[in-house]
Amino acid sequence: MKNEKILFAERLTAAMQARGYTAKASVLEREFNLRYSGKPITLHGVRKWLIGEAIPPADKLLTLAKWLNLPPEELAFDKDIQKAIQQREAHWQDEIGYKDKEIFDAFIKLPASQKKIVREVIVAFAKAYQAEDD
């Protein structure tokens, strides 16, 4: 099975080719650095993206996605990510009743410090419940 870095490299190569670019490190370095406002990336750095040794951080991924005219999640994950997100949303809609939605709405309105406490309590309950099942 291919790892995420290799899959990213394949998507990046395909996206470059689809936009009429040769998938070479020199081309990627030039085109990326023309568009990126941070510290320029080296030839060695972009080469690692193309050969599947590294995945760029989010800010660089956004620059790549804008240049290649792709949604960043499609470049980072794959085309089925939107389908997975929709399935997860449907699961939430099916599983959560109106009383649970009221709880989530109340949680969203809490200040950050109280949200942290609520999260910790939920995680503690979840761990205790999981320990009972094991």
Note whether 101 and 73 are same-domain residues: no
Count of domains observed in the chain: 2
Note whether 50 and 18 are same-domain residues: yes
pLDDT grade, residue 100 (50/70/90)? Answer: confident
Note whether 46 and 110 are same-domain residues: no
User: Which residue segment(s) compose the domain that 116 sits in?
Assistant: 96-133
Average pLDDT score over residue span 71-80: 76
From the list 37, 103, 28, the residue with the least C-alpha distance to 68 is 28
Note whether 18 and 57 are same-domain residues: yes
Q: Is residue 87 part of a domain?
A: no
On whether the CB atoms of residues 32 and 47 are closer than 8 A, the answer is: no
Q: Is residue 88 part of a domain?
A: no
Q: Is residue 21 part of a domain?
A: yes
Note whether 61 and 35 are same-domain residues: yes
The predicted-structure confidence for 106-128, as pLDDT tens digits, reads as follows 988 988 889 889 989 988 988 88
**For 116, phi and psi rounded to 5 degrees?**
-60, -45
**In the predicted structure, residue 99 carries a pLDDT above the cut 90:** no
Each residue of 86-99: b (16+ CB within 10 Å) or e?
Answer: eeeeeeeeeeeeee
Q: Is residue 107 part of a domain?
A: yes
**In the predicted structure, residue 81 carries a pLDDT above the cut 70:** no
Note whether 57 and 121 are same-domain residues: no
Note whether 44 and 108 are same-domain residues: no
Note whether 49 and 76 are same-domain residues: yes
More confident residue, 9 or 74: 9
